[in-house]
Amino acid sequence: MFNSLISVIQGQLKSLYGMEKAAVELSSTTKDFKGDVTLVVFPYLRASKQAPHVTAEAVGQAVLANSDDVSSYNVVKGFLNFSLSSAFLQRTFDVIQHSEQWGHQPTDNSRQNMVEFSSPNTNKPLHLGHIRNNLLGHSVSQILKASGQSITQVQIINDRGVHICKSMWAWQQFGQGETPESTGIKGDHFVGKYYVRFNQELKKAIAEGESKGLTQAEAAEQAPCMTAVQAMLLAWEQGDSDVRQLWSMMNAWVYKGFEATYQRMGVSFDRNYYESDTYVLGKRHVEKGIEKGVFYRRDDGSVWIDLTADGMDEKLVLRSDGTSIYMTQDIGTAILRFIEHPIDNLTYVVGNEQDYHFKVLFLILAKLGYAWASNLHHLSYGMVNLPDGRMKSREGTAVDADDLLASMEIAAKTISETLGKTDGIAEEAKQHLYRTLGDGALKYFILKVDPKKTMVFNPEQSIEFTGNTGPFIQYSHARIRSIIRLGGDLSPWTWSDIEIQPSEAKLIMHLMAYPTLIQDAAKDLNPSSIATYLYDLAKGFNAFYQNHSILKAETPQIAAFRVALSTEVAAVLKSGLLLLGIESPEQM
């Protein structure tokens, strides 16, 4: 929206100081100064050869004379503050009002991006760490879509390996044939129970080993349950039908459980990859890489890449027995995805403990000669800690995803009932509402934090519904919608009926920033900027609402304009919350 103003400023900088295509950046004026947008003139002093305030004055005067976007200006030291004209605000609001979906770009099918997220192990239920991953993956996908990209959402499920064998072995030993159905336990929790059981056995065996003078590592290695699990893993690799059958059955239980959790969180995938299918991929590429001289084989048969010249280590890419590791699989899967799908970008949502892994992976793919290696992105997010420290699933301090979602819903119910605002809503709609509000609180609490930062999850604070929270924004939205409903039929209005008030101008400018915000959030893969924006918008509207009557405005035309403005604010609140995976109720 500032394009014409920026080009006027550039034109004036040229005619005043002979600057060709000067960089012009406008920022919004700090609240304690008069004006709407600010140009910092320090960068132009070299060309103007004049004092900051003289330069600012000269530019201000020239721009005012040549642009009807601004109505006045003032100068404070090197800061040139413009006030936007009514004409500019009117044009801006007209554009917002007449756009199909303000802020969203139409999907450009030539911009294909694949987002991988979630990617759980199948031996235990999802926990709080997975929640951050899923919320980020879903939100970033929505943001990329809104920015105009075509998105494919995928996950790779770690369905094989030593972890699931531990659950399998424990179930075989102690399960006595019980199932999720027979016990009424959700499938993923059921399998997780046996993972815990295995670890109890292991702990006992280690204690026993240590008492015989073994080191902890030796004791763990020699523990009977561990050797049994290793044997089971080998049998799986060799395709042993009993083991495979057990494996399929237990994974199926887990998938059923996961599906319920995903649905509850509101996330979905266009395609699932399974590690049992992909773990052998990549070997062929390793062989080719050896021929190219990218990798080298050691005497024991293992294959490595030397990255010391790039400031990293030597990394293994194939074991000496010829089997794949994670890296091998990821090389193969990435190549496969670019062959199978017409994508030009691939984004991995994975925790920052794997920063090094992805650095190496991307470098290897570049060395193998794939041009798209520069279009691989790692959305690296920080861990979620509890107020008293790190979560540890083995110590039982992990926050279970299903429990957390359920308790948020209960908290929402309690608060809503206390406030007594849901009387008269049908019972079924109430259930949905509590869920929506609980989700809103949780999702906003997690997504408002910069993804790359380690965050503290405080259960008590996460169910707060006042202040900088999801329900605050949901409430603001619901209240606006309520007013609009009350308004009913409104008289027609034109700009000649309206004198835009300062707080209305602020709202228009806030709405104006939405498209750029989405583009920036997409570029940075960062939903937290959306959260901050929505909170500020809701707060700005509430301040306006406090001081100006909407339906009982001075004239019916002003009332109609304010309803129109409110409608656009509500639409952006709703649209922005959806980018965070949060619904906006009409009533709460």
Q: How far is the CB of 534 from RNA (least distance, A)?
A: 12
Find the shortest distance in angstroms from Cβ 40 to RNA.
Answer: 4
Torsion of CA 6, 9, 15, 19, to 10 degrees: -70
* Binding to RNA, residues 254-283 (CB under 7 A): 275
Binding mask 307-336 for RNA (x = CB under 7 A): ----x-x--x--xxx--xxx----------
- Provide the token pair at 576: 């922005």
Q: How far is the CB of 118 from RNA (least distance, A)?
A: 13
Work out whether 77 is an interface residue with RNA (CB under 7 A): yes
Dihedral angle over CA of 202, 205, 210, 215, nearest 10: -40
Q: Is the CB of 146 or the CB of 537 nearer to RNA?
A: 537
Binding flag, residue 528, RNA (CB under 7 A):
yes
- Please say which residue, 347 or 476, places its beta carbon nearer to RNA: 476
Of the candidates 375, 369, 359, the residue with the CA atom closest to the CA atom of residue 294: 369
Shortest distance, CB of residue 233 to RNA, whole angstroms?
10
Decide: is 479 part of the binding site for RNA (CB under 7 A). Answer: yes
450 binds RNA (CB under 7 A): yes
Pairing relation of β-strands 70-76 and 26-28?
unpaired
Contact residue for RNA among 453, 502, 523, 554 (CB under 7 A): 453
Our CB check for RNA shows the closer of 176 and 309 to be 309
393-412 residues in contact with RNA (CB under 7 A) are 412
User: Which of residues 105, 345, 375, 532 is near RNA by CB under 7 A?
Assistant: 532
Question: Of 210, 218, 464, 497, which one interacts with RNA (CB under 7 A)?
Answer: 464
Whole-angstrom distance, CA of residue 105 vs CA of residue 149: 8
Compute how many other C-beta atoms are within 10 angstroms of the C-beta atom of residue 192: 23
Q: Which tokens sit at 33? A: 């100064």
Residue 311 CB, shortest distance to RNA, in Å, is 7
CB burial of residue 88 (10 Å; 0-12, 13-18, 19+): buried
Check residue 237 for interaction with RNA (CB under 7 A): no
Binding residue for RNA, selected from 284, 288, 298, 523, defined by CB under 7 A: 298
How many residues form the binding site for RNA (CB under 7 A)? 91
User: Considering beta carbons, is residue 48 or 151 the nearer one to RNA?
Assistant: 48
**How many Å apart are CA 514 and CA 112, to the nearest integer?**
23
Classify residue 535 as left (phi > 0), alpha (psi -120 to 50) or beta.
Answer: alpha
**Measured between alpha carbons, how far is residue 184 from residues 166, 190, 191, 253, 257 in Å?**
22, 9, 13, 12, 12
Closest CA to 500 of 71, 92, 86: 86
DSSP-assigned beta bridge partners for residue 314: 306
Nearest distance from C-beta of residue 438 to RNA, angstroms:
10
**Per rule CB under 7 A, is residue 452 in the interface with RNA?**
yes
- Give backbone dihedrals phi and psi of 268, rounded to 5 degrees, phi first: -150, 165
- Exposed/middle/buried for residue 268 (C-beta within 10 Å: 0-12, 13-18, 19+): exposed
Interface pick for RNA out of 262, 444, 475, 493 (rule CB under 7 A): 475
Query: End-to-end CA distance of the chain, in Å?
Result: 35
Minimum distance of RNA from residue 492's CB (angstroms): 19
CA angle 161, 163, 166 (to 5 degrees): 115
CB of residue 176 vs RNA: minimum separation in angstroms?
A: 29
Under the binding rule (CB under 7 A), the answer on residue 54 touching RNA is no
Cα 537 from chain centre: 20
The continuous run of DSSP H or E covering 305 comes out as strand 303-306
Nearer to RNA, 40 or 185 (CB): 40
340-399 positions binding RNA, by CB under 7 A: 352-357, 382-383, 387, 390
Which range binds RNA by CB under 7 A, 139-147, 223-231, 476-484, 510-518?
476-484
- Choose between 20 and 388: whose C-beta lies nearer to RNA: 388
The upper half-sphere exposure of residue 370, i.e. CA atoms within 13 Å in the direction of its Cβ, equals 24
The interface with RNA within residues 5-44 (CB under 7 A) comprises: 25, 27, 29-30, 32-33, 35, 38, 40, 42-43
